């Protein structure tokens, strides 16, 4: 398992993003919220992920871009946790919902907890079916 985040794993489809927010489910671990949707992906990958930060909370594009960079890096480093614990294809969107500029340590720690919570949530839903 490589620690890369190639273009084909990035969530860019506007239609898929709209479906993700309308039909998807969400879980949260402050200051990150994860929306996910099990779906057929256009590429031959198991997961496509995107990140975002609110313009309402961070007026400066520089601050939003920094937060998105931190989120992508935390996802990239902890991706094996996700890929080893799920089955199926998923579209994921990580939203930063905090109001202050985070540190890389805080984002990474929260990302690990959120991925574990997501894996546990999927395990419960698969048992319920």
pLDDT band at 128 (very low <50, low <70, confident <90, very high): low
Domains of the chain: 7-128 (3.30.230.10)
pLDDT number for residue 123: 83
- Give 54-74 pLDDT, tens digit per residue: 999 999 999 999 999 999 999
Task: Judge whether residue 129 has pLDDT over 60.
Answer: no
CA dist., res. 129 & res. 107, Å (int): 33
Using the structure block, give the residue that is written with the tokens 């994860």: 34
Reported pTM: 0.93
Three-state DSSP class for residue 78: helix
- Give 6-44 pLDDT, tens digit per residue: 999 999 999 999 999 999 999 999 999 999 999 998 888
For β-strands 90-96 and 47-53, DSSP reports them as parallel
């Amino acid at each position: 398992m490589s620690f890369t985040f190639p273009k084909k794993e990035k969530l860019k489809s506007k239609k898929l993003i709209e479906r993700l927010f309308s039909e998807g489910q969400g879980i949260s671990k402050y200051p990150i919220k994860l929306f996910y949707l099990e779906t057929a992906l256009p590429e031959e990958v198991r997961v496509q992920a995107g990140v975002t930060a609110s313009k309402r909370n961070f007026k400066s594009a520089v601050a939003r871009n920094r937060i998105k960079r931190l989120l992508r890096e935390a996802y990239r480093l902890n991706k094996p946790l996700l890929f080893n614990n799920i089955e199926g294809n998923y579209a994921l969107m990580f939203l930063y919902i905090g109001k202050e500029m985070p540190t890389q340590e805080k984002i990474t720690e929260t990302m690990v907890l959120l991925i574990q919570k997501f894996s546990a949530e999927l395990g419960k839903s698969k048992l319920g079916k």
